[in-house]
Amino acid sequence: MSRIATRFAELRAANRAGLVTFVTAGDPTLELSLNIVCGLPAAGADVIEIGMPFTDPMADGPAIQAAGLRALAAGTTMVKTLALVRAFRAGDNATPIVLMGYLNPVLAYGPDRFAADAAEAGVDGLILVDLPPEEEDELAPALAKNGLSLVRLATPTTDAARLPTVVGGAQGFVYYVAVAGVTGTKSAAIGSIESAVTRIKAATDLPVAVGFGIRDAASAAAIARVADAAVVGSAIVDVIANQLDADDLPAQVHGFVAELARGVRGARQG
């Protein structure tokens, strides 16, 4: 099985949801970014999403936009993003890594070259927020050839007619975007999330991870009670932004992730 499938099978066996953490490659520097990523599994991250910096991140709010700009200013490129994954894999061959971002940098790199290099570096999957299923043909064959999962997004506006198209070719897991809008700006009611997860699970056997609007351990725990994983991005990126001058920046991030993990892991107890 893939690392993603293996990890979600482990979570099911443990009767708990997973914690998916997002950070941007190269934020605030490549060295600090690597230190942050390497410490995430020990802090409690079950799956790691790594953002590919891009100049026009249209689905992201101010926090992740700023992270991307910091990363680009630090000289982060796609080659260096993959090098970060490769360096992480030198010490961890179990934690799934999913690259998240936009289609443009992947096409600029070249779909076949990207898929081969990403797989060699140790990437397990890809989330491209601006790539609808109907437009996947240029990239999907290269990903499949190299064993990379293309994770698809469902949203509150994905209706019953659209849902089969979204989940039909999804791989790894389905990412449910809990709110309409950009990242880090608002939260959805847990009742609406639970009904959406139930609807998605009726259409696919893949795990469902829920993201957007999860700010703390309590909200992560609430999601963990109804979904297979809680995804936290902007709140972690905010810790980085607020601790840019701190000597212990990675430790601050890992401490916050540990709080989130305790919330997620305690969500189904009792």
Domain segments of the chain as ranges: 3-265
Query: H-helix or E-strand containing 147?
Result: none
Question: In which band, very low, low, confident or very high, does the pLDDT at 178 lie, cut at 50, 70 and 90?
Answer: confident
Instruction: Find how far residue 258's CA is from the centre of its chain.
Output: 17
84-136 tens-digit pLDDT: 999 999 999 999 999 999 999 999 999 999 999 999 999 999 999 999 999 99
Question: In which band, very low, low, confident or very high, does the pLDDT at 188 lie, cut at 50, 70 and 90?
Answer: low
Mean pLDDT is lowest, of 39-48, 78-87, 176-185, 258-267, for: 176-185
153-170 tens-digit pLDDT: 999 999 999 999 999 989
Q: Compute the radius of gyration of the chain from its Cα atoms.
A: 17
The question of whether 124 is a catalytic residue gets the answer: no
Residue with tokens 């249209």: 58
Q: Give the pLDDT score at 180.
A: 60
Q: What mean pLDDT is reported for the chain?
A: 94
DSSP characters over 110-133: -HHHHHHHHHHHT--EEEETT--G
The question of whether 60 is a catalytic residue gets the answer: yes
Q: Is the pLDDT of residue 183 over 80?
A: no
Task: Measure Cα distances from 231 to 85, 136, 240 in Å.
Answer: 19, 24, 17
Q: Is the pLDDT of residue 2 over 70?
A: yes
| Annotated active-site residue in 60, 117, 228, 238 | 60
Instruction: Find how far residue 223's CA is from the centre of its chain.
Output: 15
Phi-psi region of 118 (alpha: psi -120 to 50; beta: other; left: phi over 0): alpha
| Annotated active-site residue in 27, 49, 228, 238 | 49
Architecture of domain 3-265: Alpha-Beta Barrel (3.20)
